[in-house]
Structure 1
C-alpha cells in the first residue's frame, strides 16, 4: 500500500505527486486544472485508495508548449514504472489528458474528462497579452487566475471548495502560473483519438463553470458514445464540493473499463490483525500524515 508525497527531478523537470493504493492495481492519474495543485484531489485519494484502487495525483512541471508536456509526462510515467494509465483530467488537465491520448495512444487505457475543452483558441482570444505571459509579474498572474474563479454567493460546500483552491493559488510560483497560462492559450486542438468512446466518461457540472458551456458541449459532441456523468451542482471544483458523487462516478468508470479494486491488498498491508473498520481508520490516519499541507494557505 503506497502512501507518500514524492518529488522526481527528470532532466530539468520537477514532478511533485501523491501515490496511494495497491501498486498491483493500474493507477488512476489525476491531472489538475490551471488553478489547482495535486493536493486538490485529496478526497479522491483517501476514498478510492481505502477501497483498494491506486490513485496518483500530480503537479504539472514548468513546460511551455504541449509537445513538451507530452514528452515530460511520458518520461514521468517511465520514471515511476507505470506504462498504461487511466487519466482523470479537470479543465486544463482534461485537455492535456486528451492530447496525451492522441499522441501516445498505446499508453492511455481510458479517460475521465471534467469541465474540459478541445481547443485553446477562445482562451487565447480572451488573453491578448498572452505573448508576454512569461515576463508578467506574479501578482498580476495570480490576479488573472483568481478572476476566473467565480466569486460568491455560493452554497457552503462550493464556497469551501473555492476557498481551498484560492489557498492553493497562493502557493504557486510565478513560473507555475506562467507555465499553466501558456498551456491554456498556446495554439492547439484535440484531434482524432484511437480510444473508443466507450472508454471515456464525461463528468460535468450543470450549474456554472469557468469553462464556457459551448466548449463543454464540443467535448460531448466529439465523443457521442462516452458515458455521461452529469452533476447537478458543484461549480468549478466538484472533486472538492461533491466528492461522494465524483468518487462514485470514478469507481463506475474504472469498473466499466475493467479495473477492479483490491481491498484485500489494502488490509493486507496492515499487519495488526484489527477489524476492517479499524484498518480503514489506520489507513486514513496514514494518509493524513502525508497530506498536512492541504489545508495550509502559505507553504
Structure 2
C-alpha cells in the first residue's frame, strides 16, 4: 500500500498490535476467513464488521483501535469466495460458532451491510443477531447495473472487474480525508484476486432482495448515511428507511463512500451510542466498569459528549496517534457543510464499493 493512511503511524501501530488470524470453517480448505479480533475475550457478544466489496478487514482499523480502546470487543472480518448468499450465511454462522460467541452486533458497510441484513434474515428464528448497524447499505440488488450479466463475472478478467468497481468512485474529490480513504480502499481492491472480486460483484448483482424485513423489526437497527456524494441514490436510501421504519438514523454531513475511514470519529461515536443501549446486559459488547467509579463516570461522560469537529485536520505523521478515548476520537474527525446530491433515479446505480 502506497498511500498516506497505510503509511500512517496509526495504521502501522494497528498492524503491529492486532494480529491477523486466519480460520477455515468449511470443508473446502481454500475458503479462508481472515479477521482482526481486539478487546476483552470474555465478551461473548462483540461487534462484527463486514467490509464493502472492494475492501478487506483492514478498512475497519480505526474502529478496531477506537472501540477496543473503550473496552469493546471488535472483530473485523474478511470473507472468502462465496458465490451465493446461502453459502456466505452458512460460513458466517460457522465462524460465529468457531469463535464461541453467543450473539453478535453486526456493522456492515455497502455490500457488507446487505450481507448483514441477509444473514439476520437467515437466522431470524434464533437470537444470534443482537443488533445491526448498516452504513451506506441497500436492501435490493436489482437497482444496480450489470444484473443481467452477473452470471458471466466469473470469466471476466480481474482488471476489467476492478474497472467496473472503480467507476463507482466519486470523481473530483477535494476533501483530503475522503481522498486518503479512497486511496486506501483502492489499494485493498488491487489486492483482491479475480475470484474474490467476481464473487463479490455477483452477490451485488444477483437480483435478490431482503425478503422478510418484517421479521427483523424486533432487532435494534441503526442506519448510517452520508449527505454528500456517494454511490447510492436517494431512492435506494429511502427503500432502506421503508424496510426499517423504527430504526435509528445517524446522518453524517460528509464522508463519501467510506465514512468509517474518512470520518472515523463520528462513525465511532454513533457505534458507541448504538451499543450503549446494551450496557449492563448479556448483549453488551463492552466491558463493564464498576458503578460509581471515577473511570466509569468519565467514560459515560465522554460517550455522550457532543463536540464541533474540525474539518481542517489532515493526516500527518506527527499527528497520527492511536486514540484512547471517544473524546480524542471526536477531536480527530472532520465535518464540512452538508450538500444534498441530486441524481436521476431512473438510471441504475453503480456498485457501492
> Which of 68, 75, 78 is the aligned partner of 2:97?
78
In the alignment, which residue of structure 2 is the partner of 1:214? 235
CA drift of 1:101 comes to: 0.6
> Which of 55, 58, 78 is the aligned partner of 1:59?
78
Kept in 1, the 8 Å contact 2:35–2:77? The answer is yes
> Which of 153, 159, 176 is the aligned partner of 1:133?
153
SS at match of 1:18: strand
In the alignment, which residue of structure 2 is the partner of 1:232? 253
SS at match of 2:19: strand
CA distance in 1, matches of 2:39, 2:210: 31
User: Which moved further from structure 2: 242-251 or 65-74?
Assistant: 65-74
SS at match of 2:225: coil
2:135 aligned with 1:114: yes
In the alignment, which residue of structure 2 is the partner of 1:20? 38
| Cα distance change, pair 122–260 in 1 and its aligned pair in 2 (3 A) | closer
SS at match of 1:34: coil
CA drift of 1:18 comes to: 0.5
Q: TM-score, normalised by structure 1?
A: 0.84
CA distance in 1, matches of 2:134, 2:208: 17
In the alignment, which residue of structure 2 is the partner of 1:34? 53
In the alignment, which residue of structure 1 is the partner of 2:225? 204
The aligned length equals 267
2:56 aligned with 1:44: no
2:203 aligned with 1:183: yes
Residue-by-residue CA offset, 1:181-226 (whole Å, 9 max, x unaligned)? 0110112111224333661000001101112221111111111111
Kept in 2, the 8 Å contact 1:91–1:211? The answer is no
SS at match of 1:229: strand
User: Which moved further from structure 2: 55-64 or 252-261?
Assistant: 252-261
Kept in 2, the 8 Å contact 1:32–1:93? The answer is yes
Residue ranges of structure 1 left out of the alignment (5+ in a row): 266-280, 285-299
| Cα distance change, pair 129–192 in 1 and its aligned pair in 2 (3 A) | closer
CA drift of 1:151 comes to: 2.3
Residue-by-residue CA offset, 1:247-287 (whole Å, 9 max, x unaligned)? 0000000012342632769xxxxxxxxxxxxxxx8998xxx
CA drift of 1:83 comes to: 3.0
Q: TM-score, normalised by structure 2?
A: 0.72
CA drift of 1:79 comes to: 1.3
> Which of 241, 246, 250 is the aligned partner of 2:271?
250
CA distance in 1, matches of 2:24, 2:285: 31
CA drift of 1:112 comes to: 0.2
> Which of 191, 194, 209 is the aligned partner of 1:171?
191
Kept in 2, the 8 Å contact 1:50–1:263? The answer is no
Q: Cα RMSD over matched residues?
A: 2.1
Moved over 6 A (4+): 281-284
2:21 aligned with 1:6: yes
2:119 aligned with 1:100: yes
| Cα distance change, pair 148–256 in 1 and its aligned pair in 2 (3 A) | same
CA distance in 2, matches of 1:157, 1:282: 17
User: Which moved further from structure 2: 237-246 or 77-86?
Assistant: 77-86
In the alignment, which residue of structure 1 is the partner of 2:345? none
Kept in 1, the 8 Å contact 2:223–2:249? The answer is yes
Residue ranges of structure 2 left out of the alignment (5+ in a row): 1-16, 291-320, 325-353
Kept in 1, the 8 Å contact 2:46–2:285? The answer is no
SS at match of 2:35: strand
The structure in which a higher percent of residues are helix is 1
Kept in 2, the 8 Å contact 1:110–1:195? The answer is no
CA distance in 2, matches of 1:126, 1:177: 14
CA distance in 1, matches of 2:136, 2:218: 17
Residue-by-residue CA offset, 1:122-167 (whole Å, 9 max, x unaligned)? 22x4454322100111111111111112222321111111111111
